[in-house]
A and B are shown apart, each in its own frame.
Chain A
């Protein structure tokens, strides 16, 4: 785990979440989940779970109402484990597959959150509905976009451009 990348990812998730909230977008992708998914790449389960732990804790501190510390830690650790396990079982090459995994993860998280809230707060079991689906789609889109961006050989392209300028 590269600490700098980890910190940058975490900071990006926090800032992005707050930034998207500042522009009053009715629905936004789950950037913390993207952060976890990014660290789950390669199938490192412990790393994914540790990332889920940190991200979930931070998300709980920043977003969840008080007295529910651990709600997102639960879901993010679970998703980190599931995503890392999926990475080891399936070869996720296409960005569409990554998008599908992320969408499914968002839906699983919504379901888990509904379950936990119903269990601990006595609230009616509501898995999220349309809002969850939209969020899943947005997250999947963001995830696939990030996957594409990550797979682009940026260094080689910069080096080639540098070489062309030199010529």
Chain B
């Protein structure tokens, strides 16, 4: 008989295994004081576990389904609310713009209650102040009735005049432009003078004799004598009073009251009518329309 190592142990192990299986099987069938066997208890426990698992799974599936449907519902609602919010924000933006526009217009009309009926409201959409030539761009043009030589006025005062028009735009020469000039009046002393653009940030009043009664802070308004701008429009205040050596005239830099960078909504008054008998071309009241060609206003700087 061939020698097989550990054969006896293997047999014994098999025996122990089989006997242990029997013991386990028997122990599973033993009745407990409660009236059921261990195996029944285990079986019921396993079944209970299965039942609980199935119930839990069913509940989880239901909850998941409900959650998914709820999520879809919420997503749809969220989309609707988002679009509604966007719509409302758009409306709010429009309303805010309208309100802002209304406030500007109110400010404009309160600042210029006697604006001519043909005046137009425009927005200053672009400002070019680099270099000696200062200009701005309006979002209104010929289509809205703007004409060359129209007077551009902000809430705080005069800004310039229209020097070119397109269908939907108009170009404005600002007062600070080096080639701009405007007839002014110093109301406190009643002196009439001419103000020129400095090409930097303001204007200066010229041709005021050194003997004139001018002090810093004097108000400067349009005189209406240039035939371009109507009278009594605020221009600025005398910043300082300097005497230029042997010169017969004072150097009077003016701080403009209307800052182009802060004036977004402006009035564009129609060009002044040419001087006619019995009419005041510098009046803000409406005048009969006629061709302005050859008038002094056109020859103005």
Residues of A within 8 A of B (CB): 45-46, 49, 53, 56, 67-71, 73-74, 77-78, 81, 85, 116, 120-121
Contacts and interface: CB of A to CB of B under 8 A. Distances in A.
18 contacts: A45-B11, A45-B14, A46-B11, A53-B18, A67-B30, A67-B31, A68-B26, A70-B21, A70-B25, A70-B26, A70-B29, A73-B18, A73-B22, A74-B22, A77-B22, A120-B27, A120-B29, A121-B30
A69 B11 contact: no
B74 interface: no
A68 B11 CA distance: 25
Given A67-B37, A70-B21, A73-B22, A78 B15 contact: yes
B25 to A, nearest CB: 4
Given A67-B31, A67-B37, A70-B21, A81 B26 contact: no
A77 B29 contact: no
A74 B19 contact: yes
Interface in B1-46: 11, 14-15, 18-19, 21-23, 25-27, 29-31, 37
A70 to B, nearest CB: 4
Nearest to B25: A70
Contacts of A45: 11, 14-15
A77 B19 contact: yes
Contacts of B11: 45-46, 49, 81, 85
A116 B20 CA distance: 12
Contacts of A68: 26, 29
A49 B22 contact: no
A49 B14 contact: yes
Nearest to B29: A67
A78 B19 contact: yes
Given A70-B25, A71-B26, A81-B11, 17 more contacts: A45-B14, A49-B14, A68-B29, A69-B26, A69-B29, A70-B21, A70-B26, A73-B18, A73-B22, A73-B25, A77-B22, A78-B19, A81-B15, A116-B26, A120-B26, A120-B27, A121-B30
Contacts of A81: 11, 15
A71 B22 CA distance: 7
Contacts of A74: 19, 22-23, 26
CB-CB nearest 7 A-B residue pairs? A74-B22, A70-B25, A67-B29, A70-B22, A45-B11, A81-B15, A120-B30
A67 B38 CA distance: 11
Contacts of A78: 15, 19
B25 A49 contact: no
A67 B19 CA distance: 17
A128 to B, nearest CB: 19
Most buried by A among B11, B22, B31: B22
A58 to B, nearest CB: 14
Contacts of B27: 120
A8 B9 CA distance: 32
A21 to B, nearest CB: 24
Contact of A69 (B14, B15, B19, B25): B25
B4 to A, nearest CB: 12
A82 B211 CA distance: 147
Contacts of A121: 30
B43 to A, nearest CB: 13
A49 B30 CA distance: 25
Nearest to B30: A120
Contacts of A120: 26-27, 29-30
Contacts of A73: 18, 22, 25
Contacts of B14: 45-46, 49
Contact of B18 (A49, A67, A116): A49
B36 to A, nearest CB: 10
Contacts of A46: 11, 14
Task: Identify the interface centre among B19, B27, B30: most chain A CB within 10 Å of its CB.
Answer: B19
A137 to B, nearest CB: 27
A104 B22 CA distance: 22
